[in-house]
Amino acid sequence: MSFLSYLKDKRYFIGMYAGTMLFISMIMLVSVKGQAALNNIAYTNAGCFLFAAFYIIFGYFYRKSFYKELSEFLGKSQHQDWAIAAMPEPQTNEQELYLQLLTQLSKDQANETHLLQSEIRNHQEFILSWIHEVKLPIAASRLIMENRAGKTAEYLVDKLEDELSKIDSYVEQALYYSRIDSFSRDYFISELSLNLLVKESIKKVAKLFIAKRIRPDMESLTLVVNSDSKWLSYIIGQIVSNALTYTNNGGSIAFRSEESDSEKRLIIQDTGIGIDAADLGRVFDKGFTGVNGRTHSRSTGMGLYLAKQMALKLGHDLSITSVVGEGTTVTIHFMKMQHYNDLR
């Protein structure tokens, strides 16, 4: 900090000092006549000038030490938290307030950076997991083609369709995952029949229902709900896919709807292996696979997470109950239409 810069900062004080001394000099000039008035004015101005000059010079060297230490931090690539903590002690209340402001801004930026880095890591982990998952049906398709000798065309087509269906499911999951943040620009609420939506979801995996001899029960689906058809279909599809994965051959998956004063509910209940009580509270967490995901099938742990996030953004909710060895029940909660004004 140069002396001229310091004087520029003190320009209002210097202006006030000059105006005050001019006023005092004028008063003295009209109050005292002759040479005595000039002498008094000269002595007064000289004395006040010395005091003012001493104040400015002393203040300059006092402030210079602070600004010298502060300037050492400029242009250096230091850790932000360390730099804030190592800044010189404030000399005035103004500097104290600025330091508090910088500290708060530093904390806010650190929190935002941490959240961003966490989100980037999560995206990277999902992409890596997704790549490994999608490579499996691709590799399986190659093996089917390499070992096609002696197989009928109908058999090969059927097997390749199964693998293509898996690839399509993984691609769809990645697509919805990438669009979850821009959800608000891509949904349209309308009246939807739960019976039709569930039937469409079952049709997409009909071969697996048949292969595992699992009977879908849809006799109690009578309600109409307000939602977005595309996103709700994906939510139901994820739940049905999970139910099929963890339900043994010959089991059943039941669909029923209920209604109360405040909401409508779609209940999907399977007779599968169930979920361990220790995992039940975390099944909607991003990337969580649990015991079942590690022992019964490879899983990205993203299906129920995406379903939960989409449901919340639509103004719905998901809940889950389960008993190991007996089955799992997933409920989609739909608020009544009069509550949609609160949807953000």
Do 259 and 323 lie in one domain? The reply is yes
Do 197 and 329 lie in one domain? The reply is yes
Count Cβ atoms within 10 A of the Cβ of residue 4 and give its class: 0-12 exposed, 13-18 middle, 19 or more buried: exposed
What DSSP designation does 203 have? Answer: H
Which one, of 172, 202, 190, 192, lies nearest residue 307 by Cα? 172
Is residue 311 situated within a structural domain? yes
Helix, strand or coil, per DSSP, at residue 280? helix
| pLDDT average, residue stretch 124-141 | 86
Rounded Cα distance, 250 and 214, in Å:
5
CATH code at position 111: 1.10.287
Q: Supply 19's token pair.
A: 């105006």
Q: Is 228 left (phi over 0), alpha (psi -120 to 50) or beta?
A: beta
| pLDDT average, residue stretch 324-337 | 88
Do 197 and 248 lie in one domain? The reply is yes
Contact, 80 vs 107, CB < 8 A?
A: no
Q: How many domains does the chain have?
A: 3
The number of angstroms, rounded, from the C-alpha of 73 to the middle of its chain's C-alpha atoms is: 32
Q: Mean pLDDT for the chain?
A: 82
Is residue 23 situated within a structural domain? yes
Q: Supply 208's token pair.
A: 């697996």
Q: Is the pLDDT of residue 153 over 90?
A: no
Helix, strand or coil, per DSSP, at residue 78? coil
Do 202 and 268 lie in one domain? The reply is yes
Question: How confident is the model at residue 84, as a pLDDT?
Answer: 60
Q: Is the pLDDT of residue 190 over 60?
A: yes
Do 228 and 249 lie in one domain? The reply is yes
* pTM for the whole structure: 0.66
Last residue of a domain, one of 131, 161, 179: 179
pLDDT in tens, 193-241: 999 999 999 998 888 888 889 888 888 888 999 998 889 999 999 999 8
Banded model confidence at residue 344, pLDDT cuts 50, 70, 90: very low
Question: How confident is the model at residue 96, as a pLDDT?
Answer: 74
Do 198 and 169 lie in one domain? The reply is no
Helix 35-71 with 11-31: angle, nearest 10 deg: 170
Is residue 341 situated within a structural domain? no
Do 44 and 159 lie in one domain? The reply is no
23 against 62, higher pLDDT: 23
| pLDDT average, residue stretch 16-28 | 88
Do 213 and 327 lie in one domain? The reply is yes
Extended beta strands in the chain, E state? 190-193, 215-220, 224-227, 252-259, 263-270, 316-323, 327-335
Q: Is the pLDDT of residue 179 over 50?
A: yes
Question: How confident is the model at residue 196, as a pLDDT?
Answer: 92
Count Cβ atoms within 10 A of the Cβ of residue 50 and give its class: 0-12 exposed, 13-18 middle, 19 or more buried: exposed
Which one, of 267, 304, 265, lies nearest residue 286 by Cα? 304
Q: Which domain holds residue 238?
A: 189-335
Do 12 and 40 lie in one domain? The reply is yes
Do 108 and 225 lie in one domain? The reply is no
Banded model confidence at residue 133, pLDDT cuts 50, 70, 90: confident
Q: Is the pLDDT of residue 1 over 90?
A: no
Contact, 146 vs 160, CB < 8 A?
A: no
Last residue of a domain, one of 140, 160, 179: 179
CA atoms within 13 A on the CB side of 273: 13
Rounded Cα distance, 320 and 104, in Å:
41
Banded model confidence at residue 192, pLDDT cuts 50, 70, 90: very high
Banded model confidence at residue 269, pLDDT cuts 50, 70, 90: very high
Rounded Cα distance, 234 and 268, in Å:
14
Is residue 302 situated within a structural domain? yes
Contact, 244 vs 209, CB < 8 A?
A: yes
What DSSP designation does 301 have? Answer: S
